[in-house]
Amino acid sequence: MNIPFSPPFIDQNVINEVMDTLKSGWITSGPKVIALEKEVVRLTRSKAAICVNSWTSAAIMMLKWFGVQEGDEVIIPAYSYCATALCVLHCGATPVMVDIADDLTIDPQRVKMAITSRTKAIIAVDIAGLPCDYNTIKTLIRSAKVRALFVPNSDEQRKLGRILLISDAAHSIGATYMGHSSALSSDITIFSFHAVKNVTTAEGGCACLNLPGNFNHEEEYKFLKIFALNGQNKDAYAKSKGANWKYDILYKGLKINMPDICASIGLAQIKQYKRSLMPERKKIAEKYCNILSNYEWFIPPTLKDFSRESSYHIFPMRIKHITEAQRDHIIEDIVAFGVIVNVHFIPMPMLSYFKKTGYNIVNYPNSYTQYACEISLPIYPTLSDADTDYIIDAVIKAVQAQMLHSKRKELAMVKTSYLPG
């Protein structure tokens, strides 16, 4: 058996769409990117969507758009992929890490304690596809007390008049919050279309704008499209049409546009996402939960509750009463069965760069506790029923072997303690 962790979904539709782009004579940013943006708007009901070459690029772009710079702080959870912090650092600002709640999403009480007069934004991460507690965070940043602390330093900051709420939705395309698309829960929601994500363009990202009514979304969209292409007022596609060679540079933009060849992959996927690709993931997650819930050591991930439903991107199961070392042994055993699993995530304060710059995992005890007993199982549409049976079997065998091993060790220790001397 050889079950990969998260292969990209490539069917005939994807191949046809990519071939169509290749044969069209236009492979970089053009009609396919626009079509993908329209599909994202349709899926999420957002007011605007801008595709670029990664989540990371989109996050840097949106922080820069808001005027985040040196001296500013952005609150993020310690439990995420490094990009959540790096986008802040690339703007010269400081990522202020806070701990998570037991559902692995950012703890709103910790956010509250971390807000200062330097706070410009919060990036909440929809870990595994599960939306954060947005209502509590929104109530907090709209409260008179927190608004009074906010010091605006740019036109956009003055216009918003409060802390910007960004959702790191790298995992959560298609998730719902309070019965609506979860993208509507934040000012800005950013998806990743990296190769392992639910919808992929090989590399890519998309920023959805759902700003308050005093922002003109059409204008912001136009600005961001230009900003993402060196600040150039005409893209190459527009220039290729007739006597249209003259252009101007309007801003100190970034060069992060998404090529059509990439957009076509995502376009073919997103069209089948709500109807088939996401429901397939859901079915697998439910099967894992149903069967593994028979074991007292199993801690299921939150997939759905009264306010939200996951996009089933990752299946982050946890195991009761095990140490980090025991978890690592269990993973070795599962991999020996030919099943590739993963851990989401190594808390950022445990990574060299963040350690070196002053972050310490002891300040994020729940991030460590959750990380130490977490294992992410394969979950994707092309997994067969036999595959998931096999994965479940491998997990059960590996956990039970570990438990037996620990018991023997304990017993051996008791025995030696009876020996004289």
Ligand X SMILES: *Cc1c(COP(=O)(O)O)cnc(C)c1O
Work out which of 64, 110, 120, 194 binds ligand X, going by CB under 6 A: 194
The mark string for 278-297 relative to ligand X (x by CB under 6 A, - otherwise) is --------------------
Q: Confirm or reject binding of residue 182 to ligand X (CB under 6 A).
A: no
Question: Least separation, in Å, of the C-beta of 229 and ligand X?
Answer: 18
Nearer to ligand X, 150 or 371 (CB): 371
**In this chain, which stretch among 111-119, 168-176, 208-216, 274-282 interacts with ligand X, using CB under 6 A?**
168-176
Work out which of 205, 347, 378, 381 binds ligand X, going by CB under 6 A: 205
Nearer to ligand X, 194 or 225 (CB): 194
Q: Confirm or reject binding of residue 168 to ligand X (CB under 6 A).
A: yes
Name the token pair of 74: 């952005």
Strand 188-192 and strand 94-98: pairing? Answer: unpaired
Which residues in 242-261 contact ligand X (CB under 6 A)?
Answer: none
Work out which of 6, 21, 44, 54 binds ligand X, going by CB under 6 A: 54
Q: Confirm or reject binding of residue 55 to ligand X (CB under 6 A).
A: yes
Q: Confirm or reject binding of residue 200 to ligand X (CB under 6 A).
A: no
Query: By Cβ distance, which residue is nearest to ligand X?
Result: 55
Question: Least separation, in Å, of the C-beta of 86 and ligand X?
Answer: 9
Q: Confirm or reject binding of residue 189 to ligand X (CB under 6 A).
A: no
Which residues in 118-147 contact ligand X (CB under 6 A)?
Answer: 125
The mark string for 358-387 relative to ligand X (x by CB under 6 A, - otherwise) is ------------------------------
The mark string for 58-97 relative to ligand X (x by CB under 6 A, - otherwise) is ----------------------xx-xx-------------
User: For the chain, what is the radius of gyration of the CA atoms?
Assistant: 23
Q: Confirm or reject binding of residue 21 to ligand X (CB under 6 A).
A: no
Give the binding site for ligand X (CB under 6 A).
54-56, 80-81, 83-84, 125, 168, 170-171, 192, 194, 205
